[in-house]
């Protein structure tokens, strides 16, 4: 199933055609901590990313995103100063996954929420 999946699915990593095209017409520039690999075109100035896992732009770290948009001239490892120790790692978009935020009262959490506090008074038309 892995080979057929790679041929026909574009949402879970690059297809074989895209992989061959990028590897043949591109030059590897670097990779990030998530396993994404970044390429630049041998001719012209196009830049590419081959995702490790699902194709989700929120999984690209900010420094590599800036490189993809030509805001940085060179790879982030060479151009940017080291990150401060207090910075957290970027997290991917968790919408639609089990890790998504679900507040109290959400249907996914049973749809039960705390009772109203009683400080709300409904407005009735004609009353002032």
Q: Does residue 106 fall inside a structural domain?
A: no
Instruction: Report yes or no: 98 and 109 within 8 Å, Cβ to Cβ.
Output: no
pLDDT digits (tens, 9 = 90+) for 68-99: 999 999 999 999 998 899 988 777 788 888 88
DSSP-derived letter for residue 116 is: P
- Kindly report the pTM of this predicted structure: 0.63
Residue ranges of the chain with per-residue pLDDT less than 50: 1
Is 115 contained in some domain? no
The verdict on residue 79 lying in a domain is: yes
How many domains in the chain?
Answer: 1
Confirm whether 59 is domain-assigned: yes
For residue 80, the enclosing domain spans 2-98
Question: Within 13 Å, how many C-alpha atoms sit on residue 118's CB side?
Answer: 0
Closest residue by Cα to residue 68 from 41, 103, 96, 108: 41
Whether 122 is covered by a domain: the verdict is no
């Amino acid at each position: 199933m892995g080979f057929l999946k790679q041929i026909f699915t574009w949402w879970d990593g690059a297809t074989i055609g895209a992989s061959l095209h990028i590897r043949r017409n591109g030059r590897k520039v670097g990779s990030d901590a998530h396993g994404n690999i970044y390429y630049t075109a041998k001719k012209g100035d196009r830049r590419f990313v081959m995702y490790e896992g699902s194709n989700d732009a929120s999984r690209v770290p900010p420094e590599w995103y800036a490189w993809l948009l030509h805001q940085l001239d060179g790879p982030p490892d060479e151009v940017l100063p080291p990150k401060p120790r207090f910075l957290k790692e970027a997290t991917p978009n968790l919408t639609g996954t089990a890790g998504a935020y679900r507040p109290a009262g959400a249907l996914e959490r049973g749809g039960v929420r705390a009772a109203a506090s009683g400080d709300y008074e409904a407005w009735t038309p004609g009353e002032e």
